[in-house]
Structure 1
């Protein structure tokens, strides 16, 4: 791939689009080209992703990459002093992570808009991180997905918050509005959805981890293009282009090695999709992944099957009106 005439540079600044960010974005488009246009571009996806992997100078955030744990409670011995590897990649102080190719610079003063702490944590988890405003007790992970991680998978510990919750001083947090045991203990099982679900049900979302003194707007930079994703794009592109999923093994096992889990000896399309889900959780790729693998319309917990036309969004009526007849609504809407 000759990029010698590109006006984009190669400086590794994750807040500016360089040649590698452009190629990473292109690899994502190529990977989904068959869905978008009907013409597969899997070889091109693998080549674009591979070029960045081989030439970009980026590295996976492995055990050699550490940052101070901004959420550490001095009175809680189980809180590590530092976050490393995968956990460091999504920490509040992740701005210099070597895996980031293109990212959004969220900041609690000048770059607001990320509020996962508010959206996921129980009200009383305010006392764990000294959060300025009480969280909303919202989003939780599906139990089946949580259980799909191997117990030794470092991503499981980084991605989810489970178990008895302690405050900044190490004391048990109580939920005085709960029935039965008042101790706040996040359990992976979710009994049901609103309005009668347990207040402590569901593993909470901790991938983009929190800091002490957390405010509504978080500081964690959010990846748009990162190296781990490109390994998986190269893996899938090579496998789909050749019709042979074993060609994905090398790159998949590179990602699994970073997570501290054993290498796969064989891989199928379904196993690859599951591994991609474990790696890319909370990084807004799942919808397009499920569509590409033909599973978007399937049923899962509390979701019935959906019609095929829903793989395409409706066109806003305002845009149809403004088009003077050149746009018509997508079928089914």
Structure 2
């Protein structure tokens, strides 16, 4: 009941924000407009309404809108270009070729998944700019203004991660064909400045009304991510700064969620509570809300399973889509509890998933070819359009592995080892026999964070993203960023396409 009430409150706040937006366009209501902007948004209710309009973009829904949950957007673009998942075209004629082309690094500037991602991020920035303006003009609580600015930095971070040099603006009203393009380094500097100036103004409250919102700890997690990839973005590493941000998070009382045998957990272990409904607050730093048909949806398990198998397990037909490429699946040790998420072989009822997949696109994969994944084992409410699993954006296991990586890159391998060992031991694995190598940390990040939208970024940072795989030759260097969409280039003559496209 608490969850339902919280979601209803968020929806109400988003509705108020949209109503206020509509009111501000009515030139016959000048006095009311002045009241709305200078008084209403200075109240807690008004400030929350402005922020809710931005957070609604994080959850999103269909048509490529949102951080994760549905399909054809940012999540698919960043996960299916890596090595951890792909949706093959099926020999039965199911599934478009777009996902296979992402995995084979054959994307084009005109691809709609790429365009969806671009449009979602700029719509989100528009909403964040609007929230910042409304809150500043109303002299709102500085913590609310800071939250809006951190959200804007979050979206710009995802933009430079995917596209490099991008259109940059912090005030709405500039015509789309006049927005200047800023270099990746310039936008990086803006992101760091916005975060370092604002995250300490955020609330340190964990959970409650701050579940699913940027509090101080989530702000530092975002800053750590930006610093972690600074060398990719700017050519200059910031490992010590990343480590310092992670150290702040470690003062926030977070810990690894227990991994115990538990018959009540969907995969027999309490570890998988991290990917269910209302994610545990001991480890979760920032979560994305999802309640099917209300706020977003989580399609990932349903999208993976063969139709009759989904019907047998969940009561709804699976979409027979996403598979786990065999080399990624085979990299997991048999004793690793994180391997429980994968389904391969005889599942009963005539369902038998084969390990190998002969083709992704021509003629495509057989109906039951490919390892399936139920990491996000559907949480109720559930229907044929998805489930209600919340999605982890940042969690403490990631922070521990970031601390390990930074220490190792700074020459402190022995200091790095305990952080890796904590994550391994929680998964039922032995500690490392010696100090970790970079490949040890890279592999552990893949085991722990798979399907959580970190893998492409990790592969680029560790230099593996362009490597050949079973379905493609090595990719050219320019593929470390995506092309700017054709629609954006057609709209704004100021934009320069990324090299090689």
Q: Tell me the TM-score normalised to structure 2 length.
A: 0.56
Q: How does 1:240-259 map to 2 (within 5 A)?
A: 240-242=409-411, 244-259=412-427
d(CA) in 1 for partners of 2:259, 2:482: 41
Q: Give, in angstroms, the shift of residue 63 of structure 1.
A: 3.0
Residue-by-residue CA offset, 1:143-185 (whole Å, 9 max, x unaligned): 121111111101011x2123332xxxxxx31xxxxxxxxx212
**Structure 2 equivalent of residue 88 of structure 1:** 273
2:245 is the counterpart of 1:63 = no
Q: Cα 1:156–1:322, aligned 2, differ >3 Å: closer, same or farther?
A: same
Question: Equivalent residue of 1:6, what SS?
Answer: helix
Q: Cα 1:273–1:5, aligned 2, differ >3 Å: closer, same or farther?
A: closer
Q: Cα 1:316–1:196, aligned 2, differ >3 Å: closer, same or farther?
A: closer
**Structure 2 equivalent of residue 18 of structure 1:** 215
Question: Equivalent residue of 2:214, what SS?
Answer: coil
**Structure 2 equivalent of residue 7 of structure 1:** 201
2:359 is the counterpart of 1:192 = yes
| Number of residue-to-residue matches in the alignment | 300
d(CA) in 2 for partners of 1:88, 1:304: 38
2:500 is the counterpart of 1:332 = yes
Q: How does 1:1-333 map to 2 (within 5 A)?
A: 6-13=200-207, 14-53=211-250, 55-63=251-259, 68-69=264-265, 80=268, 83-85=269-271, 87-91=272-276, 93-132=277-316, 134-157=317-340, 159-165=341-347, 172-173=348-349, 183-194=350-361, 195=363, 197-211=365-379, 214-215=382-383, 216-242=385-411, 244-266=412-434, 267-325=436-494, 327-333=495-501
Q: Which has the higher helix share?
A: 2
Q: Cα 1:213–1:95, aligned 2, differ >3 Å: closer, same or farther?
A: closer
Question: Equivalent residue of 2:410, what SS?
Answer: helix
d(CA) in 2 for partners of 1:328, 1:5: 33
Q: Cα 1:24–1:131, aligned 2, differ >3 Å: closer, same or farther?
A: same
Q: Give, in angstroms, the shift of residue 213 of structure 1.
A: 7.4
Structure with the greater alpha carbon radius of gyration: 2
Question: Equivalent residue of 2:399, what SS?
Answer: helix
Q: Give, in angstroms, the shift of residue 323 of structure 1.
A: 4.4
Question: Equivalent residue of 2:292, what SS?
Answer: coil
Structure 2: 5+ residue stretches without partners: 1-195
Residue-by-residue CA offset, 1:62-96 (whole Å, 9 max, x unaligned): 13697943x5xxxxxxx74xx412x11112x3434
Q: Tell me the TM-score normalised to structure 1 length.
A: 0.82
Please say if residues 31 and 42 of structure 1, whose CA atoms lie closer than 8 Å, have aligned partners that are also in contact.
yes
d(CA) in 2 for partners of 1:5, 1:317: 35
